[in-house]
Homo-oligomer: A and B are copies of this chain.
Amino acid sequence: MIPGPINYSPEVLQAMSHPSESHVGPAFVKVFGECLEMLRQVFQTSDKGSQPFILNGSGTLGWDFVAANLVEPGDDVLVLHTGYFSNSFAECFETYGMKALQVKAPVGQRPSLEEVEDMLKQKAYKMITITHCDTSTGVLSDIKAIAELVRRISPNTLIVVDGVCSVGCEDIQFDSWALDLVLTGSQKALGAPAGLSIIMASKRAISVYENRKSPPASYYASMKKWLPIMQNYEARRPSYFATPAVQIIHALNQALKEILKIGMQSQIAQHKETSTKVKSKIAAMGLKTVCIDQSEGSNGMTAVYLPPGVQNTDLLPKVAAKGVIFAAGLHKEIATKYFRIGHMGVSVTRKERGDIDQALKALQESLNECGYVCTA
């Protein structure tokens, strides 16, 4: 029950152990092509100019993909900061020679729309990045409202969303909200094992890449290399740049089919319902979430402050002894003061597993064992 890698369905795990296949054979080309098609539905885009990418790498590779292809050295990037991952994304931009200015919010909060508006009025940013759900805090950004703001104040600014902990459990309307790029990993709400960097780019983003003055600043993360490969796989034509992670793509195919069978709106609604339940139980135990305003909490995870006198080193092993794994804190300002619960994928949509109830029960009992009497 950590915010990724999450629990996988037995069918997804079965797909992982599919017998070996050639990465350019017709059977696998079909599997890969279907994944690309299904991603269009997950991201709610029907614009034929939108381009999905499935790269062999962690979600982090998506940052290099953005920094090496869509911006050029000297460009100004505005990074909305909601935790650990915004800092890292900014560092990635600096690695490639961009100037990344962060709008920082206090821990547990997000920059206000007024602050963002002020920043956008001061300078013509080439790009704005928004961490949809920062996995270190569980704070959710309002990407729809920010995108509207950007389109109104600074229409040429590219809108990039880090959706690592949101794609598959939060509403993301790629076309309607006019997003330019959303990146994620395979191991969170999409319900596939870790190993794939998944990206959706808009027609406008592709055009910005095509009109860049300098060549892409990475070889492995080069859009020049990957764009024709993705177009070919989706058209069921074999194509080669670097060997894809065949087994994980089989698993992703199964995981995406499971999500689309549920339907995106039901998938998101079930995650919202579960998140509300978890957060209300947490409150009933007398605990506070890192996310201060409950209306800004993510659907897929909850970061919870430890009660006074309880340490992660005491609590988490007691929880683990009951068969439940939570994650420790990650945000460096408060790392030892909180822990994180993931509630994504089959733990949410297959209620017969009982994962959520087992996790909440394990938490309450372990807190009692640590000497903290839950008020619930």
Determine the main DSSP class of A at the interface with B.
Answer: loop
Stretch of A2-10, A150-158, A279-287 on the interface side: A2-10
Contact of A58 among B60, B244, B328 (CB under 8 A): B244
Is A220's beta carbon under 8 Å from chain B? yes
Do residues A246 and B17 form an inter-chain contact, with CB atoms below 8 A? no
In the complex, which residue of chain B has the Cβ closest to the Cβ of A63?
Answer: B219
Do residues A220 and B221 form an inter-chain contact, with CB atoms below 8 A? yes
Do residues A2 and B17 form an inter-chain contact, with CB atoms below 8 A? no
Interface flags, A89-127, vs B, CB<8A=1, else 0: 001100110000000000000000000000000000000
Do residues B57 and A220 form an inter-chain contact, with CB atoms below 8 A? yes
Do residues A193 and B95 form an inter-chain contact, with CB atoms below 8 A? no
Do residues A243 and B20 form an inter-chain contact, with CB atoms below 8 A? no
Do residues A4 and B243 form an inter-chain contact, with CB atoms below 8 A? yes
Interface flags, A240-258, vs B, CB<8A=1, else 0: 1111111110000000000
Interface flags, A8-51, vs B, CB<8A=1, else 0: 10000110110111111100000000000000000000000000
Number of interface residues of A (CB under 8 A): 56
CA distance A58 to B60 in the complex (A): 15
Q: Residue among A14, A20, A240 with the most chain B CB within 10 A?
A: A20
Provided the pairs A5-B21, A243-B4 are in contact, do residues A95 and B216 lie with their beta carbons within 8 angstroms?
yes
CA distance A200 to B193 in the complex (A): 26
In the complex, which residue of chain B has the Cβ closest to the Cβ of A88?
Answer: B219
Q: Kindly provide the distance from the CB of A289 to the nearest chain B CB, expressed in whole angstroms.
A: 21
Q: Kindly provide the distance from the CB of A225 to the nearest chain B CB, expressed in whole angstroms.
A: 9
- List 7 tightest A-B contacts by C-beta distance, closest first: A195-B245, A58-B242, A60-B242, A92-B219, A13-B17, A193-B247, A17-B17
A-B contacts, 11 listed (Cβ < 8 Å): A4-B243, A5-B20, A5-B243, A13-B19, A22-B327, A56-B194, A60-B220, A60-B241, A63-B219, A95-B218, A220-B220
Interfacial residues, chain A to chain B (CB-CB below 8 A):
2, 4-8, 13-14, 16-17, 19-25, 56-61, 63-64, 67, 91-92, 95-96, 185, 187, 193-195, 215-222, 240-248, 325, 327-328, 330
A-B contacts besides A193-B247, A220-B221, 12 pairs, CB < 8 Å: A14-B17, A56-B58, A58-B244, A58-B245, A59-B242, A67-B219, A95-B215, A95-B218, A187-B246, A193-B245, A245-B245, A247-B247
